[in-house]
A and B are shown apart, each in its own frame.
Chain A
């Protein structure tokens, strides 16, 4: 029989004089998943953070190589599970671009509306979880009240609440539910009425502001050099919204602002996400009444074969730029596939942002990075 304490490497001897090494995770309330951070502490001050990955690696990229172009879309739901619809959309866009499939307008509208609903749902969950990281429990329940309405809409539309799998190359799997427009409008009314509650409970709270302002600062140069995207980069003043820069589906037809803050601290990242929710509502409002009638899926061949070559598309998920890179040999399955996930790049900036601050600041920084671990590990 082996002694279990010998198998686990004892890291307490590794630290220099006065240093304390803590394994934060893979089981820890603030890492929201199986992220393992080896944190070197000097008292309460963080000297170094070393993320260890691989606890939830499922080799999704390799798995996709043996799946057809219809099938591989749905594996991506399991990466960033909070933006599953947007991940699916990215993959579908790649196949459509590669094979020049015409997508009906109706499908494009519904895809964008659902993408924005997904973004709101993801930000709602982030808001609750982040407030919880800072020690406030109540916002979680308020955020989930609105998120529940979105998941109900999703459930009614496509049968699933989290991993929707609603998109096929060329359009949608089914047509929308007759009540879809009514439900979405009800949600918009509810959200607009309740969003002030978050402002009162979280944004204007003096403790929350003092915990987040000036904490985990990331400059624009650093954001670019670490490859940060999404709200993290936009809070540092980097314009990187794929919806604006490389519009897909009907994003070029709607009016919305790219939310940019310049402070680069945790509070700026918080504000970017809260304002993004309002912009998403704005997009949905413009589209919901004008969903065109017609087919919900375009005409495609039964067996999809991408022509020989390399393909890349990108979409803006709730966390940033999600890129899909496919090398095709002309067969029914991808030859090689690589996903560029936003969480991985954002996590790489963590050490830079949090080193030198207190443990409490690490929670604020990590909370506003909005990490989804299956997205980082894949």
Chain B
């Protein structure tokens, strides 16, 4: 049976056999970095194409269909165009911060990739505070957005950045509480243990109603955190032209664009890990035959399938809903989602203590 674990352990054994441990570790680091960058590029290309195809399907049109069969090379061609474009810097912009901002947003997205379990025993960094690490790092991206908005010396950018700041800081709370729900159920912050706890059933099935509420809250909150419609106020193009990245062009714009899609992938991957069992296959009670067939599907396919399902959900939102107004957005968080999250956390704590979950 195909498994990524086998490949990685073979490579590791070979490296440690050939070189001394320090050098072998260094080579492993380089391989991981290269793989991460390759994954980034591939994800960017796939997700942008997927978004355009999903949008086209919803909007009764065909979408990209000229470059390559079915338009699969469209995003590659677009990226090539963006690379060759001139990266303009406005006259009165703060040049250092202006050029730094896209890299901060990108760096945050890259750092978030570390603790994600892509398949069985296929994880870059199984840190024991994995969930906390994710919450901590993901809130850093607002710095990059604020920096971009401020440094552009553009009023639209500034308004967009301010909106984004208020939005991300607010919705961080709900996302955090939704994640905590699962932490309370599992009793661990480590990603591998959270996945292992879902061996006999995913949390969304095992965790009763609180887990379902937490899942819904998580999806809403991360949609807002990644600045996606209907919460895309930071770049609301009908109001603020393009929000915080109005002044960016060429590759610097592409970095913002790419970071947005990587962020979507990461929040969906975390959502899949916490609520949908990560790479765990779907098992139904005592159906031995069914469970064996499910086991036969590689764990990486399970993980990617769940993640892309959530990504599709978030794309579906974008092409269906109108945008909220800024005060409605904050009302939704502080008046509805936050109290529900707090109550939900209390409920799940009671359930966990009394052992009512399966």
Contacts and interface: CB of A to CB of B under 8 A. Distances in A.
Interface stretch (A53-61, A176-184, A300-308, A355-363): A355-363
Contacts of B320: 136, 138, 201
A205 to B, nearest CB: 7
Contacts of B145: none
Contacts, number: 84
B237 A29 contact: yes
A211 B326 contact: no
A205 B163 CA distance: 24
Contact of B323 (A5, A138, A360): A360
B232 interface: yes
Contacts of B240: 359
Contacts of B159: 20, 41, 44, 359
B230 interface: yes
A290 interface: no
Contact of A131 (B60, B229, B239, B322): B322
Interface string A183-223: 00000000000000000011001011011000000000000
Interface string A60-91: 00000000000000000000000000000000
> How large, as a class, is the contact surface on chain A?
20 to 34
Interface residues of B, number: 30
A141 interface: yes
A211 B325 contact: yes
B154 to A, nearest CB: 10
Contact of B238 (A5, A132, A201, A207): A132
Interface of A is mostly: helix
Contact of A359 (B58, B232, B239, B322): B239
A135 interface: yes
A133 interface: yes
Nearest to A362: B239
Contacts of A201: 320
B13 interface: no
Interface string A126-150: 0000011111111011100100000
A259 interface: no
B241 interface: yes
Residue in B230, B322, B328 whose Cβ sees the most chain A Cβ within 10 Å: B322
Interface of A: 5, 20, 22, 28-30, 41, 44, 131-138, 140-142, 145, 201-202, 205, 207-208, 210-211, 358-363
5 cross-chain pairs, A with B, having the tightest CB-CB distances, nearest first? A135-B323, A360-B325, A136-B322, A134-B322, A141-B59
Given A211-B322, A359-B326, A361-B325, 6 more contacts: A22-B155, A30-B239, A44-B163, A136-B323, A359-B159, A362-B239
